[in-house]
Amino acid sequence: MSKNLLEQLREMTVVVADTGDMEAMKKFRPQDATTNPSLIAAASQLPQYQSLVDGVLLDARKELGDTADEKQVANLAFKHLAVAFGKEILKIVPGRVSTEVDARLSYDTEKSIQQAREIIAQYDKAGIGRDHVLVKLASTWEGIRAAEILEKEGIHCNMTLLFGLHQAIASAEAGATLISPFVGRILDWYKKDTGQDYQGVDDPGVKSVTTIYNYFKKFGYKTVVMGASFRNIGEIEELAGCDLLTISPQLLGELSSKEADLPRKLDPAKAKTMNIEKLTIDHETFVKMHAADRMATDKLKEGIDGFSAALEKLEVLLAKRITELEAVAAK
């Protein structure tokens, strides 16, 4: 009996679920799961997670006492909500869950470190080992410096909103556990900028991840590559063999329903033989390369702004919900 694409992919790549929906995780049985502020905000509004959200809100109220207003309660609950989802996710996936530091701290190394430690402390308190948690940080220079310090403390980091080779190399040299280059968002930018469509190996997002993967394997970095943000299964097929791929439930469904041969495209042994120039990414070089890369500049800013907006929306929803809960309790 022939294997579907998802079964074949699992033989060469760790498959990660890119969702906050635990029902989807139960269906596709990924090794790991990753969430982001937009996914948590969306999942928080689904009826099946209302009791989880309400529990976090009521715990926050209990912790702060009656003198705190609903905004303060919502703010504390928001800090605990992603971890609450993470703890539930780890009841389903055997590997790791990624929990994101507030995107609004992306240019503040100290505050990013502080929040990452708070996230890990919550998992520690729940008896969840650090090998099961990745803290997500934006791949700004400041975020990468935070990761360098956190990794030395045994806190594993996932560098997100990564669009350029300079971000990838700086993250690897900082000792980050994992990077998440955004394939689909890169494609989106090029389609809008050029008015062209791209398929297969010509997809700029596929090219970017292929370049990063080969660079890492050529020079023996321990940092692993997890392609993220896919627009179609063609992108996933072109990156078969990547260390990890984080895939939405919709595309996991498409992969599991398609039967065809899936050849390995990324191979560490092949990368070792390639003629690749070694780069040194200090702060000045990072800034220069980032400024020269219009796509990376645009998408990093857009990503941070988008995640920040999702967080602000979530805080408003939580403040509204705690008011509703307390109105019901007062009756």
Span 130-144, pLDDT tens digits: 999 999 999 999 999
Rg (CA), the chain: 20
pTM comes to: 0.94
Span 315-330, pLDDT tens digits: 999 999 999 999 988 8
Residue 114, domain CATH: 3.20.20.70
Domain count, the chain: 1
Q: Is residue 326 part of a domain?
A: no
Q: Which residues are catalytic?
A: 136
Give ∠ CA 107-314-85 in degrees, rounded to 5: 90
Q: Is residue 234 part of a domain?
A: yes
Q: Is residue 323 part of a domain?
A: no
Q: Is residue 65 part of a domain?
A: no
Band of residue 1 on the pLDDT scale cut at 50, 70, 90: low
Could you tell me if 298 and 291 are in contact, meaning their C-beta atoms sit under 8 angstroms apart? no
Q: Is residue 46 part of a domain?
A: no
Q: Is residue 247 part of a domain?
A: yes
Give long-range contacts, CB 8 A cutoff, 24+ apart: 109-114.
109/142, 109/143, 109/145, 109/146, 109/149, 112/137, 112/142, 112/143, 112/146, 113/146, 113/149, 113/150
* % of the chain at pLDDT higher than 70: 100
Residue 225 in 3-state DSSP? strand
And the tokens for 87?
Answer: 């703890």
| Domain assignment of residue 148, given as a range | 5-28+95-303
- Compute the distance between CA of residue 162 and CA of residue 185 in angstroms, rounded to an integer: 10
Task: Indicate the average pLDDT of the chain.
Answer: 95
Q: Is residue 266 part of a domain?
A: yes
Q: Is residue 121 part of a domain?
A: yes
